[in-house]
Structure 1
Amino acid sequence: MNRIPPWVTRHLAALRVVLVLTVTVGLLYPLAMTGIAQALFNDQADGSRIGNHGSALIGQSFTDAEGNPLRQYFQSRPSVAGDGYDPTSTAAGNLGAESVVDTLPDPADPESGKPSLLTQVCARSKTVGELEGVSGARPYCTAGGVGATLGVFRAGGLTGRATRVVSLNQACPATPFVATYEGVTVECAEHDADYSHALIVPVRGDAPARSRVPADAVTAGGSGLDPHISAEYARLQAARVARARHLPVGDVLRLVGGHTAGRALGFFGEPGVNVLTLNLALDGKA
């Protein structure tokens, strides 16, 4: 009687495992999950699409061809997913609290620089403040919308008197946001200079501890696809939207309240406003 060689037996066993897993995990399990999702969560499973306007689960920009905010619409949270709210490029900025020094651009290539998280927040706060007609001032931000960060050189390295001070995020020939620091004249920064031996000193300034511009208006979410903004940010935008649409502010605020969802499960997170559905409701009212 001829016996099957051991190596053939092993290969046949492996092939059976592949076939079983392909059928169960690759076919039966996805079909079962799809069926359960369609039965219990039909709207979400189909992408929560709202006609041809988009998905209620994915944020989008309400801007013109040049990227300027459309004043008659509520604006979404900033996004760093691709060019903004790109589901194929969902991502976070991966910058943390220590990101306070910009990479200054080469004057010959203005697009070569990279702003720190602090400067991104400061610039967005300034822009939102100007759009909504409120102060966008924030602690550690200059009036021009960059991070108020100094590089301080000291006689003893880490200690001793200050011998040189540079405003690290203000490229020459800009005028530094403070004239002097510890009696030393503050310089503007050169894009190719080495400031690695300077002590980094963020300057708080005299801005109020709580800015008129909410945090979600100046920081991008982890996914870059957030469809909601805070109720505080929505209320800040209500007056501008009402003026653009010639509506009473009270009517717009009532729409905001009607589109504000509570905390998940009653205690997770904060109440949020779905920007797409709110803007569609505004269009419907018009």
Structure 2
Amino acid sequence: MSVRTSGRVLWVATRMVLAFTLILGIGYTLAITAIGQIAFPDRANGSLIRNADGQVVASSLIGQSFSDADGAPLARYFQPRPSAAEYDAQKSGGSNAGPENPTLIRDIKERRNQIARFNGVAPASIPADALTASASGLEPDISPRYAALQEARVARARHLSLATVKKLVAQHTTQPYVGFIGEPVVNVVTLNEALDRQKG
């Protein structure tokens, strides 16, 4: 291949790289960003939750602890699933403990007893998601069964009627996709934010 031919091939290849960089690297990225901002602005920006002053206080996609400085759960709030990552996105992950792991078995027993005492319910009534951490450690959702177990305690602590609390739980319950994919879930983060806006 002559130098002239080689130069022509190199020039064609360079133009192709530049063209695809502009089309796929920049154009495609801008187009997808624009679609996200127009069609799903809340999700595209991280599903942020703002307080009455407009300050960002959380994301509905990331769970958080509702406890005091000593780590004790606050009765005014619905409690989330346990987290092996302490709800820290930088340490996201599960415990990786198998079902026969003695530490996991001990933790589940302790959690069952603590949740039963905290909510004034029978240990046998506590669902599995209240006892086991999620794979990410950042799960913002709990089962409706776990939410229902906490309703009376939250209503008492906030001096709200049980009917008011149940209504809020229903409003923050997401049903399965297209009616049958997945399970109903309650977003604890958005639910607790809604509770803070209530009087009581």
TM-score range (shorter-chain normalised) is 0.7 to 0.9
**Superposition pairs of residues 247-286 of structure 1, within 5 angstroms:** 247-286=160-199
Match of 2:94 in 1: 92
CA change 1:40–1:72 in 2 (3 A) is same
**Superposition pairs of residues 123-138 of structure 1, within 5 angstroms:** 123-136=110-123
Secondary structure at 1:285 match in 2: coil
**TM-score, normalising length: structure 2:** 0.84
**TM-score, normalising length: structure 1:** 0.60
Larger mean Cα displacement after TM superposition, 14-23 or 38-47: 14-23
Q: Over aligned residue pairs, what C-alpha RMSD do you find?
A: 2.5
How far apart in 2 are the matches of 1:225 and 1:16?
Answer: 45
1:239 pairs, out of 125, 130, 152, with: 152
Match of 1:41 in 2: 40
- Specify the structure having the higher radius of gyration (Cα): 1
CA change 1:130–1:9 in 2 (3 A) is farther
CA distances 1:71-90 after superposition (whole Å, capped 9, x unpaired): 11111112223xx2222332
**Greater percentage in helix:** 2
Match of 2:53 in 1: none
Secondary structure at 2:59 match in 1: coil
Match of 1:4 in 2: 3
Secondary structure at 1:54 match in 2: strand
Letter paired with 1:272: V
2:138 pairs, out of 200, 225, 239, with: 225
Secondary structure at 2:142 match in 1: strand
Query: Percent sequence identity over matched residues?
Result: 46
How far apart in 1 are the matches of 2:163 and 2:132?
Answer: 28
How far apart in 1 are the matches of 2:127 and 2:153?
Answer: 16
How far apart in 1 are the matches of 2:9 and 2:105?
Answer: 59
How far apart in 1 are the matches of 2:116 and 2:4?
Answer: 78
CA distances 1:67-107 after superposition (whole Å, capped 9, x unpaired): 111111111112223xx22223322222333xx243xxxxx
Query: Runs of 4 or more off by more than 6 Å in structure 1?
Result: 5-14
**Superposition pairs of residues 207-226 of structure 1, within 5 angstroms:** 211-226=124-139
CA change 1:3–1:215 in 2 (3 A) is same
* Residue correspondences, number: 194
1:77 aligns with 2:64: no
Letter paired with 1:251: T
Letter paired with 2:116: G
How far apart in 1 are the matches of 2:87 and 2:176?
Answer: 23
CA change 1:91–1:5 in 2 (3 A) is farther
Unpaired segments of 5 or more residues in structure 2? Answer: 51-55
Match of 2:63 in 1: 59
CA change 1:16–1:251 in 2 (3 A) is same
CA distances 1:170-228 after superposition (whole Å, capped 9, x unpaired): xxxxxxxxxxxxxxxxxxxxxxxxxxxxxxxxxxxxxxxxx311111111122222221
Q: CA deviation at 1:119?
A: 2.5
